[in-house]
Amino acid sequence: MKHPTIYDVARESGFSIKTVSRVINDETGVRAETVAAVQAAIAALDYHPNPAAQRLGGGRLPTIGVVVDSLNDPFFGEVVAVMEQRAMEMGMDVLVASTGMDEGRARTQVERLVRRGVAALLVAPFGDDDAARAMLPDGIPVVVIDRRCGIDDKDVVRVSDHEGAQDAVSHLIAHGHTRIGFLGETEEFTTVQDRLSGYTDALAEAGLSVEPELVETRCWNSEAAYPLALSMLAPADGPTAVFASTPLVGIGVLRALKHLDRQDVAVVVFGDFPLAELMTPPTTVVDQRPTALAHAAFDHLERRLADPRATVVDTVLQTRLVERGSGELPPPPPLPPLREP
């Protein structure tokens, strides 16, 4: 059963969220009859204020800042949805900002949220390690999500990027592929570095060499990935399989295959996305577990609020391969040799 929230108390009592928050935090200047009405609503609903939320609020309605790459990314869209759900259950508000995968903008967005008085931050950092560390404040609780970026003094929640990528490419090799393309975002992302490393390790384990022309790391989004995938897949001697390092890159790859009218190229995408199961064939993915990651990150935030001196932890969630069809396609048969005239 869903626990009542501060929003439910506000509706039951007929007063604003701010007024209810003032009553809960025993602030002065609230009329006695207002206090009585709010307390009656609390009793009727059996509402129990979350201690972490009270600590976070410091006597006012608390707000959490969430900083991600882009809301167009299905992974971060799911993460933000969980954050909003969990925050609402604690009677908190959420402010969401995107970095656009730009180091300067990432720093500006964090600074803007801190100036607006957010009481805690959940951040997917961007930039080199020094820049990522420098952008994070020390005065409020911060949980880092998706990538570590050399940060060792904040709680971090991420997934096993290297192992997930290695499993995906090994899966393609097991189905007969020896020429496998890699398409990913910039190597400024530590996640992309780890996924590219997983790709190369899987090839090496199978005795295969990395072919530079089959590695592309300029796919900032699906629009950028589309022409780069076309260029890689159009030649007759192109790869027979592709590993896409993010959902947006995967969408660009699938658009390119649609344009080329090809269904013979095996594809595995790191991260699920809407309609993946409805593609032809359905798209095999590495489950990045955004919902589990977001819940784990929020759990760490609550832990940090309850005990600011708690031990800093780096939580790594294991990915899993979801076989749907595209990653299980065999390589096409070789073309017959040309006959002599």
pLDDT tens column, 72-118? 899 999 999 999 998 887 778 899 999 988 899 999 999 999 888 88
Other Cβ atoms less than 10 A from the Cβ of 184: the count is 25
Query: Does a structural domain hold residue 137?
Result: yes
Co-location of 186 and 86 in the same domain = no
Co-location of 31 and 74 in the same domain = no
Cα separation of 340 and 243, whole Å? 37
The residue behind tokens 């959902």 is 247
What is the percent of the chain where pLDDT is above 70? Answer: 94
307 or 253: which carries more pLDDT confidence?
253
Query: Does a structural domain hold residue 199?
Result: yes
Co-location of 284 and 294 in the same domain = no
Co-location of 171 and 275 in the same domain = yes
**Sheet with 314-317: strands ordered across:** 93-98, 63-68, 120-123, 142-145, 155-159, 314-317
Co-location of 183 and 264 in the same domain = yes
Query: Does a structural domain hold residue 341?
Result: no
Co-location of 173 and 152 in the same domain = no
Q: Which CATH number characterizes residue 14's domain?
A: 1.10.260.40
- Report the predicted TM-score, pTM, of the whole model to 2 decimal places: 0.81
Co-location of 128 and 273 in the same domain = no
| DSSP 3-state of 273 | coil
DSSP state of 68: E
Cα separation of 190 and 70, whole Å? 17
Co-location of 309 and 199 in the same domain = no
The residues, ordered by sequence, that sit 6+ positions from 322 with a Cβ below 8 Å of its Cβ are 272, 284, 285, 286, 287
Residue 220: its pLDDT value, please?
A: 86
Number of domains in the chain: 3
Q: What digits encode the pLDDT tens for the residues 181-211?
A: 999 987 778 899 999 999 999 999 999 999 9
Query: Does a structural domain hold residue 26?
Result: yes
Cα separation of 101 and 147, whole Å? 13
Of 137, 140, 136, which Cα lies nearest the Cα of 126?
Answer: 136
Cα separation of 330 and 279, whole Å? 17
Residue 22: its pLDDT value, please?
A: 81
Co-location of 122 and 192 in the same domain = no
Query: Does a structural domain hold residue 206?
Result: yes
Residue range(s) defining the domain that contains residue 39: 6-49
Residue 339: its pLDDT value, please?
A: 64
Co-location of 268 and 154 in the same domain = no
Query: Does a structural domain hold residue 16?
Result: yes
Query: Does a structural domain hold residue 336?
Result: no
The residues, ordered by sequence, that sit 6+ positions from 162 with a Cβ below 8 Å of its Cβ are 194, 195, 197, 198, 201
**Beta-ladder partners of 286:** 270, 321
Co-location of 221 and 303 in the same domain = no
Co-location of 211 and 237 in the same domain = yes
Query: Does a structural domain hold residue 78?
Result: yes
Cα separation of 198 and 303, whole Å? 32
DSSP string, 203-255: HHHTT----GGGEE----SHHHHHHHHHHHHSSTTS-SEEEESSHHHHHHHHH
Q: Which CATH number characterizes residue 71's domain?
A: 3.40.50.2300
Task: Please answer whether residues 13 and 96 qualify as being in contact, where contact means their C-beta atoms are separated by less than 8 angstroms.
Answer: no
